[in-house]
Structure 1
Amino acid sequence: MTDAAIDVKGLVKRFGGKAVVDKVSMTVQRGEISGFLGPNGSGKTTMIRVMCGLLTPDEGSGTVLGYDLLTEADRIKREIGYMTQSFSLYQDLTIEENLRFVAGLYGLDPAGTDVRDTLETLGLTARRHQLAGTLSGGWKQRLALASCVMHRPKLLLLDEPTAGVDPKARREFWEEIHELAAGGMTVLVTTHYMDEAERCHQINYISFGTLIVSGTVDDVIARAGLHTFLLEGGGIDEAERLLLHQPGVDQVAPFGAKLHVVGRDRTLLRQSVDKVAAETGVRVSPADTSLEDAFIRFIGEKKGTTQ
């Protein structure tokens, strides 16, 4: 058995002749929480479906949990939990009835024990008789997670699991994910939220079907090669207008009453920032480059190569 829970090379998946996943190679270590990021339509969901055995790749090879992706898809399916973007359980069944149904699908015996333990672990016991259709987004999310982990999978695949839920529910969900990973479960999660990406051990960024960058958050930010300055003060609106046309300035983004100014050439960027600051009276200070800034640069580079 390899140390990698996911180890795939050169994966390609086409629909109508178009490569939605284009020569993607990726490794996720066992017990790791790996984030999978990218714009809508970038190929994240297709990639997850390939890795969990629901879609067969047109090219490439690899293993998931030590099983061959091309010849052992059925074995992979039995060892994973897959939480889709949309809530897929029965709205007119209670929480407990839904979990009993799922337990039957996995052949868990005695099902009652697994259902009871799962209800308790995910804090659902008090609501076990509530209809799924009456649950809020956060509780539906928790029920969906319960149905995915009840059979104790070795790999958990989560496709934008926190879309549409409130910040408190999102934080609680991530606490559950880290507890599962601490217990040895590997997690691959797609997300649009930068704060969620920063909770992952590793992140992978895909755009236009191609994997652009992988690594820790610090690695990814470093590879972007960006420098950032923070501007604040009464002339911030005028400073924003002027900076858009200055050499060395790649990105200008308001953050509340402050301005994030980003560029690759630190010398040119500093000169432009100081010039505009002198004209508008704003204050300038160095700042850390954000993950969002890095991704915007990677998206821009990828768009440039596909035009």
Structure 2
Amino acid sequence: MDHDRILLEHGGGGLLSHELVTGIFLPLFRNACLERLEDSAVITLGDRKLCFTTDSYVIDPLFFPGGDIGSLAVHGTINDLSVCGGKPLMMSAGFILEEGFPMEDLRRISRSMAEAAQKAGVSIVTGDTKVVARGAADGLFINTSGVGIIEYPSPLSVASIEPGDAVIVSGTIGDHGATVLSKRRELGLISEIRSDSAPLNGLIGSILEASPNVHCMRDPTRGGLGAILAEIAAQSGFRITIEETKLPVREEVRGICEILGFDPLFLANEGKVAVFCSPADACLILDKMKNHEYGRDAALIGFVGKRNGEGLILNTSVGGSRVVDLPLGELVPRIC
């Protein structure tokens, strides 16, 4: 650890986040579940496998096209359970409220959470509320935890990835990050783009039901698709090669990135999943995705190569190639 104080970048899902986890939390809390460093812990109880996850939401602004902090919190929890092969069952909701927060906004956000949970078939079964003084919480923070049951026979994990695996993303990347960027007052951008925030348990369930050869899944939230693929390449030791021309990006997102100098590969998503699977099942999985409302823009973007430590390689649209490293922090803070 090279810093004696926490930086905003430590919460961005990039290299500094990784150093924080592996430098402080993992050595002190070390156990077999935590060492996997996946989106959810996988726990065996008797003959059952459960998955358990927790997350906190601090997004600014609280309301944005395509959702709000409430629906985002539900979707994020559901998706973290789903990418581990779990069927989400129930979740908690903890609210940290700033004194003076509008009651009508809290009612609107709570209603949004209830509707999102009902649509996904998940119950909010417990929770907590704390109120802090003015200026201590920036309006509202939400913490959630979720529990699911795993029925998929093979473990979905970085450790299960094999050479030759196809890499598929379920749709256009950077939608959520671009939406939040466009709505922040200091940027003043006008765009038709909407957040992709969505529950992926139905989409993922259909994929797992169709194919026994899915090896790993991740939802590319903070740090975007680039961060999670670079992280997986580092963890697994495999070279992962992706094609820039195959990356699905909306023109509105591309335009925002060109104006502000951002890369859509590193913008956050809240309704996408990256899938590593046997190449023999890639077409089947793509077909399942494209026939689902949350996977219509799915694309096969690359393949897993040899275990040689080269990391994530991007073949560019102009014919070259470059190594894609974990970003230091997050391009856009307070994104989820």
Question: Which one scores higher on RCO, CA 8 angstroms, separation ≥ 6?
Answer: 2
What is the TM-score when the length of structure 1 is the normalising length?
Answer: 0.23
What is the TM-score when the length of structure 2 is the normalising length?
Answer: 0.22
- Name the larger-Rg structure: 1
Q: Compare the two structures and name the one with the higher helix fraction.
A: 1
